[in-house]
Amino acid sequence: MMSEPLSLRVGYPVPTEQHAAVLLSIETVLELAGPLAEVRVPGEPGAVFLEDWQVTRAALMARMASTLRHISYLVPSMSRLDGAALCRTLVDHVIHYAWISADPPARLPRFLRKTYNSALSKHARWAERGETLLTPELHAHYTAFIATHPEGPGKLRPMAATVDTNWLNDVRAAAPAPLQMVSMSELYEWVYDPFADLDHPSAAALQSFVHLDPNGPAAWVDGEPERDAVTDMRPFWLAVWAIIWALTVAELTQGRPGRSALQAAIQRVRALREYDRHGLLDVRTTADGMVIGLVADADEQIAAITRANG
What's the pLDDT tens digit per position in 117-142? Answer: 999 999 999 999 999 999 999 999 99
pLDDT bracket for residue 91 (50, 70, 90): very high
pLDDT bracket for residue 290 (50, 70, 90): confident
State residue 310's pLDDT score: 60
Q: Is the pLDDT of residue 309 over 80?
A: no
Q: In 3D, which of 258, 198, 251 has the Cα closest to residue 226?
A: 198
The amino acid at residue 4 is E
CA distance 39 to 60: 12
**b/e code 67-90 from CB counts within 10 Å (16+ = b):** bbeebbebbeebbbbbbbbbbbbb
Alpha helices in 37-103 (DSSP H): 53-74, 80-101
pLDDT in tens, 43-78: 888 889 999 999 999 999 999 999 999 999 999 888
Question: Phi and psi (nearest 5°) for 263?
Answer: -65, -35
State residue 267's pLDDT score: 96
CA distance 56 to 170: 23
The amino acid at residue 267 is Q
SS3 5: coil
SS3 284: strand
Question: Phi and psi (nearest 5°) for 285?
Answer: -95, 125
| Mean pLDDT to the nearest integer, 137-149 | 95
State residue 4's pLDDT score: 80
SS3 151: coil
Q: Would strands 289-294 and 281-286 be described as parallel, antiparallel, or unpaired?
A: antiparallel
**b/e code 3-22 from CB counts within 10 Å (16+ = b):** eeeeeeeeeeeebeebbbbb
C-alpha 218: how far from its chain's center?
A: 38
The pTM score is: 0.90
| Mean pLDDT to the nearest integer, 240-255 | 98
State residue 184's pLDDT score: 98
State residue 124's pLDDT score: 96
Q: In 3D, which of 86, 37, 87, 79 has the Cα closest to residue 58?
A: 37
CA distance 240 to 191: 12
pLDDT in tens, 177-186: 889 999 999 9
Please indicate whether residue 164 or residue 178 has the higher confidence score (pLDDT). 164
Q: In sequence order, what are the residues at sequence separation of 6 or more whose Cβ sits closer than 8 angstroms to the Cβ of residue 142?
A: 116, 117, 119, 120, 134
